[in-house]
Structure 1
Amino acid sequence: MDAALAVLLTAVLTLIIGKLVLFRLRCPNAPPCISGWIPWFGVAFQFGKGPLEFIEQARVKYGPVFTVFALGHRYTFVTEEEGIEAFFMSKDVNFEQAVQQAVKHTVSIPAKVFYKNRYNLYVMLKGKMAPPNLHIFMKTLCKELHEFVEQLGTEGTEELHDLVRHIMYPAAVNTLFGKDIWPTSRSEISEFEEHFQMFDEDFEYASQMPVCFLRNWSKSRQWLLKTLEKVTSAAARTNPSKSESKTVLQHLLDTLPDKHFAPNYSLLLLWASQANAVPVAFWTLVFIISHPDIYKKIMDDIVSVFGNAGNDKTEISQDDLKKLPLIKWCVLEAIRLRSPGAITKKVMNPIKIQNFTIPAGDMLMISPYWLHRNPKYFPDPDMFKPDRWKAANLEKNAFLDNFVPFGGGNHQCPGRWFAIMEIHLLVVLFLNKYEFILLDTVPKESHLHLVGTQQPTGPCRVQYKLRE
């Protein structure tokens, strides 16, 4: 038996080495490849322990363009500005091909169904959540946030990330999916948060690995899909005829020809609307509270708009938010500093970047984490400097150059302006109502999540009390 196993391992390793040699012969100008020695897994274990540190070490050793072999795929990283134009503009790279397997693994939408519906759904979401239409959500979102902020009481001590999550989850879900059709009791919300947090935490691993390795994640996904079957059914029954009265979920149902996959697309919408917004809101508050000069300036601005009393249910309008640009700058600066490690497209035909030829089949990755630390575009890149956003033409919805957390070209996140407004509004409501004291040192970001915005590591408790 031992001899047979040894022969099998030898054959497997010979096959892998042979394929690598043949690949190098076919693609002599390919970037340097970090492949490891474990069949199929490659360097997945080392990479998964700390993706951002792994990328940085590879940059130092191999330069700004290199390939990582993990879980049967080749990921070619472009970690500086070289190749950005090719990534966003080249017709030889494809976004849909890059994400189809992730969509299939995480929400069980087949590739053919995904291709058939992606464009129409993207156009619908981009239109409904565009800046001119944000006023449609504003009143409802403000009311929902007030309702859940009220549950905090007059004072308390809590983990800031938990506090933000407990407020944002139900408020955003009720706004986008419809309050009357979503479970709203405290126990149901708590159960939902528990399953969604499990689904979100292992989303990146589930996008690449068989779900048999992620049993708890799989159970949470099934729970969410079962819940969303009921939600989408109720949304369809109560779907109004007037477009302005519909929720985003009901617009999705109208756009989707095959209603069989409505729960799956709803889960994808749910994850897209929550996974990054909660961490960004957390980091925005952490940065503000831990910078006394910025905190004081923001509070002076809030008092100038709303007065000293922060205990009532102030209705906040878009015009009010425009009078508080520093908070929006803080949101964008938090996004810059805590953006995901990489975003991806699939190389369909060989493309040249620097002196390398990236072969067809590679997943081409750019790293917002490192692009946002390029001192050419962001002086003092590791510092939290919200004033740098004065130079952006935000009135015309234009970001600073090289700011790419939402993607670029024709595949930017359609909900980016809603997310920024949502976080802006939450921060204003929190700071208008409560005084905050950070009880722990500023936490470090976790490097476990490559695709999603970095979660905090270590405690980050805050003490809050009603403003006087």
Structure 2
Amino acid sequence: MRKKHGDIFTIQAAGKFVTILLDPHSYDVVLWEPRSKLDFNQYARLLMDRMFDVKLPDYDPNEEKTMLRMTLQNQNLSSLTKAMSFNLWNILLSDPSRTSLHWKEDGLFHLCYSTMLRAGYLTLYGNEGKDYEDVSGQAKDRANSLEIYNEFYKLDQLLMKAARSILSAGEKKTFDSIKRDLWKLLSVKRLDCRANRSVWLDSYKQHLVDLGVDEEMQTKAMLLQLWSTQSNAGPAVFWLLFFLLKHPSAMAAVEGEMQTIFGSRKQTIGQVHGISQEKLDNTPIFNSVLNETLRLTAAPFISREVLQDMLLTLPDCREYHLRKGDRLCLFPYVSPQMDPEIYEEPEKFKYNRFLNADCTEKTDFYKGGRKLKYYTMPWGAGINVCIGKFHAVNSIKLCVFLLLRYFDLELKHPDTKIPGFDKERYGFGMLQPETDVVVRYKLKDQ
């Protein structure tokens, strides 16, 4: 479509006219247009209802983000990072089934998605007991988080169809049954009894109370937030580890950096959980690997509903008429992320693509001879930028660090090809593989 029609064109999809804009130099025009003309709220409310049966009175996503932003940053970020490190340690290194010196096989996607969702859930929604190092509490957390993950994964297989309203009658029945099971597990009464709840959780619940939402709808909103906060980090860890396993030079560079930053593998549990934000930030090679991974595998749509007939004026003075009731959509995965004018061989993984020669972050990328403000957009942009980015990045680093530091990990079949993408996932954040990749892992000899 882009080759034929250029970087802005209109299509008809599901009876609705959608204008697609693929020029990253023009994205700010859309991102900062007043909400009286271009609005995200209507589409957000539609998806919340279709996917999770959530209806919130006077719901304003931007107001909600503003209110919750500080619960995921600054001092709260430090608390979340410490909690995430404890919970990852519990899932990965306190589970007898995983800490064998003998080789064990698993799907890499299953390993990464289950680990990140379980630890992320415990970090935000709380633990069975207050003491992270209590053996009995750890076992209960592993059992509870595994139950949550197993049910959530079944739901996740149907969510994209639910978002597009294409579930069959049988699938709809199954989908509703799984949601009911998850609502029981995530009921606000049950969550109120958990220890170590995050400031984010308590603030979000109070926000719902302030909106006048009853307990039943609060519980449904907790499932919505589990998906919103936990559905992307696991797939990101999967793709990052898969690329490292397929590119030995990248793996060696990351492991060398981790050795420099984090020191000996024989650290105590207290030293691991005491990793400072300064150390987590001082990983330019890993940051480049993560940026490259997300460039290749993050594919969210940035959508706006057109609320009034309007003229969209692009920076190059081109003008386009948009009709009230239509939709405007940016798809950064096509451009800038996979644009051959911006990135040489954009389909290939290059771990140092976002590194300068002096190992500082590379931010100078060009299109049409002009430097780009938006050269990759996995976290969104403008008022819709992900408020949990810093927590997500810390969590991804901690998970990869623990897996590579304490486990021998390898592809069962070294010649495994990069799996195709599940095309249903385009538009909803991180892409997932069509098929899993079998790996072998065992605890390293200390």
Aligned-pair CA distance for 1:355: 5.0
Query: 2:131 matched to 1:179?
Result: no
* Aligned counterpart, 2:184: 226
Decide which structure has greater helix share: 1
1:141 matched to 2:84? The reply is yes
Which residue type is aligned with residue 351 of structure 1?
L
- By how many angstroms is 1:61 displaced? 3.4
CA distance in 1 between partners of 2:190 and 2:146 (Å): 21
**Equivalent position to 1:194, from 128, 150, 167:** 150
Partner of residue 347 from structure 2, selected from 382, 388, 400: 382
Post-superposition offset of 1:76: 2.0
- 1:158–1:463 Cα contact (<8 Å) kept: yes
Structure 1 portions without partners, runs of 5+:
1-57
Percent of aligned positions that are identical: 22
How many matched pairs? 400
CA contact (8 A) 2:244 2:251 kept: yes
User: Which whole-Å deviations, capped at 9, do the CAs of 1:316-353 have from their partners, x for residues lacking one?
Assistant: 33233234332222122211110125221111222336
**Is the contact between residue 310 and residue 432 of structure 1 (CA under 8 Å) also seen in structure 2?**
no
One of 220, 243, 246 as aligned partner of 1:264: 220
What is the SS of the residue equivalent to 1:386? coil
Distance 2:104 2:277 in 1: 30
TM-score by length of 2: 0.81
The structure with the larger Rg is: 1
Q: 1:297 to 1:405 in 2, by over 3 A?
A: closer
Residue deviations 1:27-63 (CA, integer Å, cap 9, x gap): xxxxxxxxxxxxxxxxxxxxxxxxxxxxxxx223333
Unaligned runs of 5+ in 2: 130-136, 364-371
* Residue identity opposite 1:388 in structure 2: R
The residue type paired with residue 311 of structure 2 is: I
Query: What TM-score do you get using the length of structure 1 for normalisation?
Result: 0.77
Cα pair distance change 1:324/1:253, threshold 3 Å: same
CA contact (8 A) 2:205 2:218 kept: yes
C-alpha root-mean-square deviation of aligned residues, in Å?
2.9
Match of 1:24 in 2: none
CA distance 1:283–1:239, change in 2 (3 Å): closer
Match runs of 1:360-399 below 5 Å:
360-371=324-335, 372-390=337-355
| Structure 2 counterpart of 1:93 | 38
The alignment partner of 1:406 has SS state of coil
Mapping for residues 150-189 of structure 1, pairs under 5 Å: 150=93, 151=95, 152-153=98-99, 154=101, 155-180=103-128, 184=140, 188-189=144-145
Contact 2:40 2:305 in 1 (8 A): yes
Corresponding residue number in structure 2 for 1:49: none
Question: Structure 1 residues 203-212 or 458-467, which shifts more?
Answer: 203-212
Once the two structures are superposed, residues 283-334 of structure 1 have per-residue CA deviations (whole angstroms, 9 ceiling, x without a partner) of 0111111111111111122222344535864333323323433222212221
CA contact (8 A) 1:126 1:415 kept: yes
Question: 2: distance between equivalents of 1:462 and 1:355?
Answer: 52
Contact 2:294 2:378 in 1 (8 A): yes
Q: Which residue of 1 aligns with 2:424?
A: 448
1:285 aligns with 2:285: no
Residue of structure 1 aligned with 2:321, choices 334, 337, 357: 357
Q: Hey, what's the Cα distance between the residues in 2 that align with 1:248 and 1:359?
A: 39
Structure 1 stretches of at least 4 aligned residues deviating more than 6 Å after TM superposition: 392-395
Query: Cα offset for 1:436?
Result: 1.8
Where 1:66 maps in the other structure, the secondary structure is: strand
Q: Please point out which of 243, 255, 258 is paired with 1:302.
A: 258
Q: Aligned partners of 1:383, 1:211: CA distance in 2, in Å?
A: 35
Q: CA deviation at 1:376?
A: 4.4
